Structure 1
Amino acid sequence: MCGSSHVHATRLRHHVVHDVTERGSTPYDLSSRKFLRDSKSSSAGEVSIQPCSTLFSHPKEMASSSSSYSDIGVILNELTCPVCFELYKEPIFLPCGHSFCRLCLETSWENREADAGYVCPNCREVFPQKPKLMKNMIIANLIENVKLKKGKFGLEVRDTEHGDVNVKEGMKSGGSESYCELCNGEAAKRCVPCEIICCAKHLKSHQQRGHKLVDPGVKIEDLRCIEHGKPIQLYCKDDGSLMCVTCTGGQHRDHYVVALEIAHAELKDVLAAKYPHVSQSMESVASQLRHVQEEEAQAENSSRNAEDSLEEKRRLVCQLVNESVDLMKSEINKRKMEKLSLLGKQREKLGQQMEDLCQGKSTMDAAFQDLEAISFLHGSKDLLKRLETMSDFKSMKRTPLPVLDFSKEEKNLDELITLNKNFLEKIQKGPVEHPEKVELDQNNLRRLYGRSPSLVPNSAHREITISGDLRTATGTGTENQYPEHRDRFDVYTQVVSRDCFSSGRHYWEVDVRSSSLCRIGICLNSMGRKGAESALGENPESWCLYKCNNKFSAHHNNQCTSLSVPGDPERFGFFLDCEAGELTCFGDSRVLHVFRGNFMVPVKPAIWVYYVDGPVHFVHLVK
């Protein structure tokens, strides 16, 4: 675009003179718009010549050097209307020195209110009366020369409403966003005014001229107004839309419109102001994430250690059972061998006796068969003697051996089996419950999970006074001169704790002995602090107990549950289990109510006190 007042035409003349001089042509007199003869020339006259005709007098030289095309691109930019970003058509200039297409300028003025004056679209200078529009002959002549010489320099002119010029070097461009359109080198940026993709080398001249540069992949169409096809130069702050100069006369007529650069800078300032808060939030989330990861690692290690311990116990139990069974089998075998040895001896003795009796019986059978008296009597003496010996035989008195009894050993094994069966049945019914979870004893809760919350003064309503130790909140009924703060409650006399929980187990207590009217509980850290939607227990982001004299109730999301509470508790205890999603409320060692919800997001203890009542105090729990 053009710069300050009266510089547009001057800059163009400077480019013409500079370029002509560099190419060895005759100097150009700006005042007379004529080329002067060399001082060494024999002729003293002047030669009238069309301005800038020598600018394109060496097409062969320009075609052989890619830098010449870059120079052409720079000059073509000076021939571009700052409103439509296209070649001037019927160029005119204002008293401030800036030039435009006649149609572009008149359209811009037509779209504005009549009493708004006549404004330069470039420098925004206001002219109370419509200025006289004079044709810029220099620019018009330059454009004519460009169009006449376009075929010699690979310039493709597309005749649109105001004309449009694309710089091409023959057919070198591969039509890809990855290559320079001048040398086929690697693309670096796209020049928006020139609509050309350049490498780093050919980009320098565009940078020096202050052209707008974008990434090669950005489409020019995305930088133009959809409705008018003009370059986007303005930003409407009322509806947050991008727009061209022509858009200012339509639906944005009375809107607050600023330049893109101003909107860009303001938005960067807004983001910069929010950046610390986002960084702090990231640090807080990162800290909580590290805490969760540490707990996950601890859970993995704890589980692994428990499994290793159980494996060791299984090995010991198996070893003990095996040794016990082996010992009992050995004892059984020993007792069996002892009894079998005794029985064997008895069996041998009885066998010998049986053999003797068989022999006596055989002798007697033989004697009975001997019919001769002499023969019978002759052997009777020996027979009687043997019978006398046999008559002394009596039944062997057997000592009864003890019965093998292993019932005691079997009973021990049965007890071990029963113990294991009961253990397995208990595991199958459900996971082993945490000992503190099974019995909610407040002494254990204080010892294991005790917390001592402190209040945040910047969150306190102006009719609340906070004690020096940040643990007591008292309603005053009169406003304190607290500074404005986004976290301060503005409707209800409430205050929140500095402590913020989103994982683990936490227990704290609140002393309400001096208060007959209060609400205490928790709220999401994200709960609003302004307006009627911030009442504790009356929205989906808060949970609380309500004490009104000797009546008590539980409140959440505008739902009330009446509670039966014996006596008048002096303390309320709160046990928050984030993973289980439970908030257990105690009143003097008795469970009053259990809230259930998603407490894996940051929550804070909160208090609502009334100006007609006494103070409410967070109890300092010493582990």
Structure 2
Amino acid sequence: MASSSASSSSSSSASSSSSSSSDIGVILNELTCPVCFELYKEPICLPCGHSFCRVCIEKSWENREEETGCVCPNCREIFPQKPKLKKNVIIANLVENMKLKKGKFGLEVRVTEHGDVNVKEGMKSGGSESFCEVCNREAAKRCVPCGILCCEKHLKPHQQKGHKLVDSGVKIEELRCIEHRKPIQLYCKDDGSLMCLTCTGGQHRDHDVVALEIAHAELKGVLAAKYPQVLQSMESVASQLRHVQEEEAQTENSSRNAEDSLEEKRRLVCQFVNESVDLMKSEINKRKMEKLSLLGKQREKLEQQMEDLRQGKSMMDAAFQDLEVVYFLQGSKDLLKRLETMSDFKSLKRTPLPVLDFSKEEKNLDGLIMLNKNFLEKIQKGPVEHPEKVELDQNNLRKLYGRTPSLDPNSAHRRIKISGDLRTATRTGTGNQYPEHPDRFDYWSQVVSCDCFSSGRHYWEVDVGSSYWCRIGICLNSMGRKGGKSGLGGNPESWCLDNECNNEFSAYHNDQCTDLSIPGDHERFGFFLDCEAGELTCFGDSRVLHVFRGNFMDPVKPAIGVWDDGGSVHFVHFVKQTFITN
């Protein structure tokens, strides 16, 4: 029993010692300056109730550059004028007593000079510096309610009060309510806005408001539910991308094979032409040699005859010059006999040789040349149409090039009212109060989109079911907006379809009309713009109605004109490759 009693007494003594040490630790924390984290030295009390060492608070105020007056480093209360600093006698006495009793409890109480206490110069609440706003130490966190940067030591009071702490690099303005400048703690599910506690008494009074943590968890759940859809869409797009890449590779290979085949045909054609020309040249040379041989023989025969004639003429000349009759008569017998042996030159006829004729061969070559010429002209005048364009239908156009243009309010005529989603244009009976703008139509009740195209391919659709007189199409961004010449289709700078009463449709450009045969009642029309090809293809009822051609490398905009009061025309909306309209 004695042993048990002793043990109990020892345990009680240890427990009492531990409790005393814990109580002393609490007391020491209360007697510690929140600036220097040492026991108060000449403690003073501010009007807000917080105490500091006199040297700590004075240095804190000396180094601040704010013009709002003196600020409490703890609660950030601002004093327009420097308050009178009175010594806190109670805290001073408690500090002195604690110094006297420090050895009794085995606690070490350090007393230091305060000359090293300093506050970062130029530091302001919410600044981007990475230094504690109370001392020169590196900042660890930022307190959202107080809006100051704190080091590890100066975070303790804020942690004890349950203040929200964030990384030092976070901008405090983004975590505060814009209207009340208080920490954001709530989320309004009705309008999706972030709120402070004060906001609940205003326009959000009857709204579904939850804590940020709850909203965060709920929205994460929503995103988690949509995550598989995103993955599925990514897989679908990746599959389409692979098909496009494979088709690109096939196109490259097909083009390369076609070029190689053409090069081989070029070689064969050149070989054929060269062999044909060489063969014809050889034949020409052969015929030339044959004819020259015959002509040579005729020439030799004629030359011999000419020599005989010269000799006869010479003999006759000599006889004519002989004046003696006896001599003349003596020689005449031989002369006549010599002349009789000569040919009868009067009857000499030369048989003409055939002329070299290569007209047939030349015609063959001319035919080959003409064939090639016609082939080249056909290629130049009628190039092969892009196969990918031929295969595109409206469904593919929606998926690959689908767009939802937005209307430009600055271009709307005063009698055109634009919907909040910027997709619908409605003609009103009275004018709307629009400000003056150089892009605004002042004569025709028209409007253009904000979208501007000058390259690539684009597809959009227009619903005209709520209007019985309208024009839809495109215009150059440079088209005039003022006066009667600014009507869609009535100038060289616009191309459009005209929908008049009784479903009569026409194509207009530069005030030239082309009537279109469109059986049935149509409310939706598609437009496919290929800027590089210079074509605007108009679709209706899944078929091509008309193709405009022009220089669409200059910036163009989709445009709408509504000319019946109360009529509406709107751009059809595309969402996730699904074609819908509101």
Q: TM-score, normalised by structure 1?
A: 0.46
Q: TM-score, normalised by structure 2?
A: 0.49
